Copies of this chain bind each other. A is one copy, B any other.
Amino acid sequence: MAEIQKPRVTLLDIAADADVSRATVSLVIRNVPTVAEATRKRVLRSIHKLGYVYHRGAASLRRQQSHAVGLIISDITNPFFAEVLIAIDERLAAAGIVTLLGNTSESRAKEERLVRTMREFPADGILICPSPDGDTAKNSGALSSWIPTVTFARRVPGLDYAGVNNALGAELAVEHLYQIGHRRIAFVGGNPDTSSGRERIEGYRKALAALGLESDPALVVPSAATRRGGYDSTHALLKLKNPPTAACCFNDTVAFGAIEAIQSLGKKPGVDFGVIGFNNTPEAAQNVPGLTTVDTTPRQLGETAAELLLKRIEKPDAPVQTVILQPRLVIRESCGASQSRT
């Protein structure tokens, strides 16, 4: 029984069955209106009868587009990116486009391999959250060999970009902590080799300056954007001679790590120490205590990125486009707003 191959049903088979030409069948499939109603019905009947399955690959070769785009994400296990991914996928699917997924785990080598694979496919375009710059020249080099490309969440000069006003987000967080009484505020986590890390730290510093607070370098502790990273950094901060009373965290995951660190020392987050996260992932609302965080609207970000790419594919030579979404602060319990308002 190991021999009954399924020979694919092609337009030719349909054509033979319906007694028309390949071309006519193709017209029917693409809903071109010049086909007579009777013919159309006959062809549709044959298609159904023979169990025909459209072959995108063949069609892609002939038209010069695949209706597939590559989506390259630096860390899918990060709930923020998971949200972005869903939004992108939905928006593209609505445009009849298939998503080729790739996960780099923050590895430049994997990123390069993925970009190559997707160009080979060939994808009509690429959506990418670039790995940390390190060597920026190399980075843009790998990306720019031309195929429509949109970056999101992290920026690479010269490419379309969908992002969030990170500096403003950090400012909002710092200002809020100031308002509820904090004067020594730390910044925990994040990678200064990514634009998002740089921009958030910059916003943090700017806000401190605007409020007339001293900017103590010891209070800025970058780390991996993980729970572990947030935990370790916060532990270190709390052991300083002159420890901070609150922290802005690079993202929610780091903030959860910070909260654990606080709890592990027998202190209460929001009471003994204020914590603010970044992104407003679903866990932020569900956690106990609820996490005060900067909402960076991941769904909107994904949708925006997808739309930028569709535009770029349509007009490859349009000038570089950038969309910056405005974040807003979502106040819950972890910052201590309720306590300090007395």
A residues near B (Cβ < 8 Å) are: 1-2, 6, 8, 51, 53-58, 60-61, 64, 66, 68, 71, 76-77, 79, 82-83, 85-86, 89, 93, 98-103, 105, 113, 117, 119-122, 145-146, 227-228, 231, 256-257, 260, 263-264, 282-283, 286-288, 317
Contacts and interface: CB of A to CB of B under 8 A. Distances in A.
Given A6-B146, A77-B83, A227-B286, A57 B51 contact: no
Contact of A66 (B51, B54, B57, B287): B57
A103, A119, A260 — which one has the most chain B CB atoms within 10 A of its CB?
A: A103
Given A89-B102, A260-B286, A260-B288, A120 B54 contact: yes
Given A55-B120, A77-B282, A228-B286, A100 B103 contact: no
Contacts of A231: 286
A302 to B, nearest CB: 12
A61 B8 CA distance: 12
Nearest to A282: B77
A310 to B, nearest CB: 18
Contacts of A54: 120
B86 A82 contact: no
Nearest to A264: B288
A110 to B, nearest CB: 8
A75 to B, nearest CB: 9
Copies in the complex: 2
Contacts of A83: 77
A287 B286 CA distance: 14
A338 to B, nearest CB: 16
A145 B56 contact: no
A231 B283 CA distance: 13
A113 B56 CA distance: 14
A26 B51 CA distance: 34
Contacts of A260: 286-288
A145 B53 CA distance: 10
A319 to B, nearest CB: 9
A57 B103 contact: no
Nearest to A71: B101
A113 to B, nearest CB: 8
B77 A82 contact: yes
A260 to B, nearest CB: 5
A77 B79 contact: yes
Given A57-B122, A82-B82, A100-B100, 4 more contacts: A51-B145, A57-B57, A57-B121, A263-B288
17 contacts: A1-B317, A56-B120, A57-B57, A57-B60, A57-B122, A58-B61, A71-B101, A76-B82, A76-B85, A77-B79, A77-B82, A89-B102, A98-B100, A98-B117, A227-B283, A227-B286, A228-B286
B282 A121 contact: no
Contacts of A57: 57, 60-61, 66, 121-122
A16 to B, nearest CB: 21
Contacts of A64: 8
A229 B104 CA distance: 32
Contacts of A76: 76, 82, 85-86
A121 B317 contact: no
